[in-house]
């Protein structure tokens, strides 16, 4: 049964960057034990800032020394036996701290939850701040669970579920201010289990993160063109829900993946690998960011330029179907 969704952009605007701090504060108030490490971009006015103020004994500021922070987070997890939530500015988490993620955290299989903020395109930040190569890196690291929440409420679900989850994890969230996909936050949720968002028989769109909403908008546009599209929320990139991909391959003759990441090595590559291994004979297309250093501009302009806006997703999907 598909989950209940919303098309109301303005009324449902929220921030996953605030959500993770909010739920961590709730967990601390509930008496749950964990450690929090963070970079100096956590402002006192944020919910994470409120956690730091109320529970300073469990919070550690590492400034702008991201590799040190990630390595120390592994040490804290080993020394205390507690889950460690480590908030790091996304582009510097994946690129500057790759060695520490690989060797200190993944190799030791410690319960560190790396919260990478500002994923995808960062307006005006340029190639140093765009976080589009991270999924390819994370997927190649053993023992690492990769989570990409669709909205703020789903981010909270990941944080809560991670308290009792064994092993290292990356939680990849966007810049903030993205619309909630799900109108009813009570939907069934499990790490590693994809969600059927809409039903459809012509094509399956598999997406993750904040781009699940834009894929939902594309489904609506496709419906206006007479195209029936299934939409799957593949919120966990690793372990990948292979059954959901296999089911999609059986139900529709075309599959499209949509992500705010490089088309090389991310969600699209993971789905393509499964389809190739199982002998899928239908049509397939990856929609994402190209293998290049991106143009600069406002987010909407960048999305339009690369054809990954709702209209662009719908146009590319219809083109795949020859319509």
27 CB contacts (<8 Å, ≥6 apart)? 34, 159, 160, 163
Report d(CA 228, CA 219) in Å as an integer: 8
Report d(CA 31, CA 113) in Å as an integer: 19
Active site residues: 66
Angle of CA points 166, 167, 170, to nearest 5°: 120
How many CA atoms lie less than 13 Å away from 222 in the CB half-sphere?
Answer: 32
Neighbours of 304 (CB within 10 A): 14
String of DSSP letters for 203-268: EEEEE-TTHHHHHHHHHHHHHHTT--EEEEE--EEES--HHHHHHHHHH-SEEEEEEEEESSSSHH
Neighbours of 79 (CB within 10 A): 10
Of 199, 197, 257, the closest CA to residue 232 belongs to 197
Report d(CA 108, CA 168) in Å as an integer: 9
């Amino acid at each position: 049964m598909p989950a209940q969704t919303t098309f109301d952009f303005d009324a449902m605007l929220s921030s996953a960057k605030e959500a993770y701090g909010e739920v961590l504060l709730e967990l601390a108030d509930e008496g749950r034990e964990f450690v929090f490490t963070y970079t100096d971009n956590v402002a006192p006015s944020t919910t994470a800032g409120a956690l730091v103020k109320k529970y300073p004994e469990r919070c550690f500021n590492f400034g702008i020394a991201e590799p040190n922070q990630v390595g120390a987070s592994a040490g804290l997890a080993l020394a205390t036996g507690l889950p460690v939530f480590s908030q790091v500015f996304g582009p510097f988490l994946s690129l500057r701290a790759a060695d520490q993620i690989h060797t200190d955290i993944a190799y030791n299989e410690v319960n560190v939850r790396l919260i990478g903020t500002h994923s995808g395109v960062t307006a005006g930040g340029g190639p140093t701040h765009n976080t589009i190569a991270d999924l390819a890196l994370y997927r190649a690291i053993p023992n690492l669970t990769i989570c990409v929440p669709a909205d703020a409420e789903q981010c909270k679900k990941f944080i809560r579920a991670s308290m009792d989850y064994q092993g290292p994890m990356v939680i990849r969230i966007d810049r903030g201010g993205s619309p909630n996909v799900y109108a009813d936050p009570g939907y069934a949720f499990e790490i590693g289990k994809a969600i059927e968002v809409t039903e459809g028989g012509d094509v399956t769109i598999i997406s993750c993160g904040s781009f699940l909403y834009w894929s939902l908008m594309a489904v609506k546009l496709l419906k206006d063109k007479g195209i029936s599209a299934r939409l799957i929320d593949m919120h966990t990139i690793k372990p990948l829900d292979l059954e959901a991909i296999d089911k999609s391959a059986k139900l529709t003759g075309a599959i499209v993946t949509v992500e705010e990441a490089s088309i090389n090595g991310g969600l699209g590559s993971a789905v393509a690998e499964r389809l190739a291994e199982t002998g899928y004979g239908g049509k397939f297309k990856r929609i994402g960011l190209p293998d290049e250093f991106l143009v600069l501009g406002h987010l909407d302009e960048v999305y339009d330029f690369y054809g990954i806006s709702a209209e662009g997703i719908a146009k590319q999907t219809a083109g795949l179907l020859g319509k």
